[in-house]
Amino acid sequence: MLDFLLMTASNAPEVLATTAADIHGEIDIGAGKHIEPELFGLAPYQVVSIAMLFLIAIMIWKKVPGMIAGGLDNRIAGIRQQLDEAKQLRAEAETLRDEYSAKIAGAEKDAEAMKENARHEADAILAKAEADGAAMVARRKQMAEDKIAAAERDAIDDVRNRAASAAAMASRKLIAEKHDAEADRKLADTLIAGI
């Protein structure tokens, strides 16, 4: 094979003209014999087997399977750690979701309670305003009635005073016109007799 490579390098055009029989030796197709390449008297499959054993021995000696197993174990441990972190994050996210759902439900209940409380307070304020308005109307009505009654009393008193004054003046006038000294004597005698 080495001869072939050397020959190929120096005589490239001539080598191209050679046949397969020139490279591998003579092949006798009629008799069923041909020459196969050998290395130290070993067949190609034996050389490959020895090379594989030698490669496996070097890998075992250098602890390559342990390194591969360690690398795989490290990788598995890293993946497990990531999965554990993901589970933990998922649990935290679910906890936060539940917490915020509870907060939202509580806020909705609080808002509804505040709305209902505001409605009750508004109704109470409206009822109080109506009651205060009715009380104020009643007070003002009473005050107006009291003023009217006071004005009536004042008017009646004024009318009585004027009537009394007018009657007194009329009686003076009548007495002055119709009452003389003789009538005074008779009146005085009647009074004295009644005592």
- Residue-wise pLDDT for 44-88, tens only, equals 888 899 999 999 888 888 888 888 888 888 999 999 999 999 999
Q: Which pLDDT value is given to residue 31?
A: 53
Q: Which pLDDT value is given to residue 12?
A: 45
Q: Which pLDDT value is given to residue 7?
A: 46
Give strand pairing partners of 39: 42
Residues spanned by the domain of 25? 1-35
15 within a domain of the structure (yes/no): yes
69 within a domain of the structure (yes/no): no
User: Measured between alpha carbons, how far is 195 from 187 in angstroms, rounded to an integer?
Assistant: 13
17 within a domain of the structure (yes/no): yes
User: Measured between alpha carbons, how far is 190 from 184 in angstroms, rounded to an integer?
Assistant: 10
User: Measured between alpha carbons, how far is 8 from 22 in angstroms, rounded to an integer?
Assistant: 13
Give per-residue burial for 74-85: e unless 16+ CB within 10 Å, then b.
Answer: eeeeeeeeeeee
> In whole angstroms, how far apart are CA 117 and each of 110, 129, 194?
10, 18, 87
* Cβ atoms 15, 8 nearer than 8 A: yes
* Cβ atoms 42, 50 nearer than 8 A: yes
24 within a domain of the structure (yes/no): yes
- Whole-structure pTM over 0.85, yes or no? no
Q: Which pLDDT value is given to residue 49?
A: 92
9 within a domain of the structure (yes/no): yes
- Give the chain's domain count: 1
Q: Which pLDDT value is given to residue 32?
A: 57
Q: Which pLDDT value is given to residue 44?
A: 85
168 within a domain of the structure (yes/no): no
At 11 the three-state DSSP class reads coil
Q: Which pLDDT value is given to residue 2?
A: 43
Q: In the chain, which residues have pLDDT < 70?
A: 1-34, 179
Largest CA distance in the chain: 208
